[in-house]
Amino acid sequence: MFLTRILMQQRKNAYSKNLQNILNCLQVQEDARLLDLGCDDGKWTISLGRTVGTEHLHGVEIVEERRIQATKQGVDAIPANLNGKLPYEDSLFDVIHANQVIEHLSDTDQFISEIFRLLKPNGYMIISTENLASWHNIFSLVLGFMPFSLTNVTLKTADLANPFAPHNGEEFYETVSWLHKTVFTTKGLIHLFKLHGFEVEKIMGAGYYPFGELFSRIDPYHAAFITIKAVKR
């Protein structure tokens, strides 16, 4: 479908911009310990470490095949469920990162409280996720469709009740860990972080389709992707 292809290209561009937003939130700190939650195959973790200037890279990945690949990349990656307690001591890390992870979790309170526990004082987290209040999600709701960010809540299909969903008409082979559980708005995510004791330092948006990308810099509250940097004081 022509409109679906256009949305997919805009999403691809927005995702690339979102990755740059994440890198722009990082601070150079050569002796930093960095933890990447949902580190996948470790390639992006390496990019994070390169930007920070550190080789102390740790990761958590529940998909064993991807975790093994991450270890081969030089990431000290362990298998663990991000809905539960992680096997690290308190105040161990300077930077904790999670990109497109929180929306897949059922216990977001546990997730954020664990990040707070694991960070050193004045350490920071960078969390990035899809935005439930993005314009393309809002327009979907107005039309009576499922919002784009919640079309993959069942293993039966990746395009639940939305004919314009990115994977419309494709066969679906993903696992339970790929399903979306909780999708936040920007303001909801900010409130959640503050409730857990974090001080929000930076808010960035990426993607503003069907409008121009420029607006995502002005209005992160309706951007397709949210990136928030928050500090443990």
- Digit-coded pLDDT (tens) for 94-123: 999 999 999 999 999 999 999 999 999 999
Q: How far apart are CA 216 and CA 229, in angstroms?
A: 17
pLDDT reading at 207 higher than 80 = yes
Residue 173's pLDDT band (cuts 50, 70, 90): low
Q: How far apart are CA 145 and CA 97, in angstroms?
A: 32
Q: What domains lie within the chain, and their CATH numbers?
A: 2-232 (3.40.50.150)
How far, CA to CA in Å, does 165 sit from each of 131, 151, 156?
Answer: 15, 7, 14
Per-residue confidence (pLDDT) for residue 1, from 0 to 100: 64
Q: How many CA atoms lie within 13 A of 24 on its CB side?
A: 15
